[in-house]
Structure 1
Amino acid sequence: MSSQLRVRLREAITWRGDRTDDNRYADVTGWWRAPALLRELGPALGALFEAERPTVVLGPESRGCLLGPLVAMHLGVGFVEVRKNRGPCCDSDAWRLRTTPPDYHDRHLELGFRKHLVRASDRVLFVDEWIETGGQALGVQGLAEDAEATWLGAATIVDALPGNEVRRRLGLRSLVNIRDL
């Protein structure tokens, strides 16, 4: 990945709240508004796992559903959205479901996708914009294991994990580390 992409990612982010505020957060909506940056994100994230030859990209609602198709198009593979707390539905499709470890808001979410969309022969790549605790990615990893698919790893724009244990378990590769923003 080019150093120019890192610079553009940093410039397009806005921090909301004071540095001492517990509710301070990164507003990444500037990434979606910059067409040149948006055009580069799919190829940059896809390149992190291109050699592993994924057959499907999984992305959680909501931003993983924005980035995942960009990565899937770059890799020439399909995309499966991972829904959060989908609740009762009128369709009769069978779903694969998992409850996550705590996420960045200390919530346990129910993640899922339709069973027929991920097969045992698949090589799965998880994509999202930010990883802070790894809860959602670990939940999706569990879903892939339940489907007997091969987990290749997780590709994110920002790695904000505090330690290496979850990073190694997920096979995480990112474009930038939180300290670079």
Structure 2
Amino acid sequence: MSQSHESQDAGAALRAHIRDVPDYPSPGIMFRDITPLLASPEAFQQAIEGLGKLVPSGTELIAGMEARGFIFGAALAMHLGIGFVPIRKAGKLPAPVNSYSYDLEYGTATVELREGTVAPGARVALFDDVLATGGTARAGVALLEQSGAEVMASVFLMELNGLGGRDCLGGRAVSSLMTL
């Protein structure tokens, strides 16, 4: 799944609400600051409505990646009238949890989901604000599948070109509201 023409139009209008911050958090990195988008009730509503069109029908839950995935994911779930589950960094949830560790370019990270939060066979869409290299999204999908979910799609506010994120998700359904 890719962007529709309608979602590309929504993404283009929203792009004005994303601030580029060069060399943050380190030299050579272009940070995409979504704070102006969140501060505009019109832009935030437009983003949620546009993202809602990217979630496959039949989806029962939105799983949001910590931390910005919580902001959009919870609002998206409410907009769609479905449930929301947070995927947290290690150590943020009380036991028992399902966890998944993955490699980063500078070490490893672990994400967790409260055990029993997702029923076996639940149809879930993963949400995060940015698809860059894809490692975090791939870990979220793996954690959901390990928990028994059927991952319907991975949905992102923005996808960064040239970083291989889509390829990292191995041919799975991926949609983004805008591509930068």
TM-score (norm 2): 0.84
Residues 1-150 of structure 1 aligned to structure 2 (within 5 Å): 1=6, 5-17=10-22, 21-51=27-57, 53-86=58-91, 91=94, 93-102=95-104, 106-150=106-150
Identify unmatched segments of 5+ residues in structure 2.
Answer: 1-5
Alignment coverage as a number of residue pairs: 170
TM-score (norm 1): 0.84
Give, in whole Å, the separation in 2 of the partners of 1:3 and 1:145.
29
Secondary structure at the residue paired with 1:45?
A: helix
Q: Deviations over 1:19-63 (max 9, x none)?
A: xx5133222211101100111222211211232x11111011110
Aligned-residue RMSD, C-alpha? 2.1
Greater relative contact order: 1 or 2 (C-alpha under 8 angstroms, separation 6 or more)? 2
Q: Deviations over 1:118-142 (max 9, x none)?
A: 1112001001110101111111111
- What residue in structure 2 maps to residue 171 of structure 1? 173
- What residue in structure 1 maps to residue 3 of structure 2? none
Give, in whole Å, the separation in 2 of the partners of 1:125 and 1:133.
19
Identify unmatched segments of 5+ residues in structure 1.
Answer: none
Give, in whole Å, the separation in 1 of the partners of 2:53 and 2:106.
31
Offset at 1:4? 5.2
Give, in whole Å, the separation in 2 of the partners of 1:106 and 1:176.
28
Offset at 1:106? 4.3
Give, in whole Å, the separation in 2 of the partners of 1:23 and 1:50.
32
Higher strand share: 2
Secondary structure at the residue paired with 1:22?
A: coil
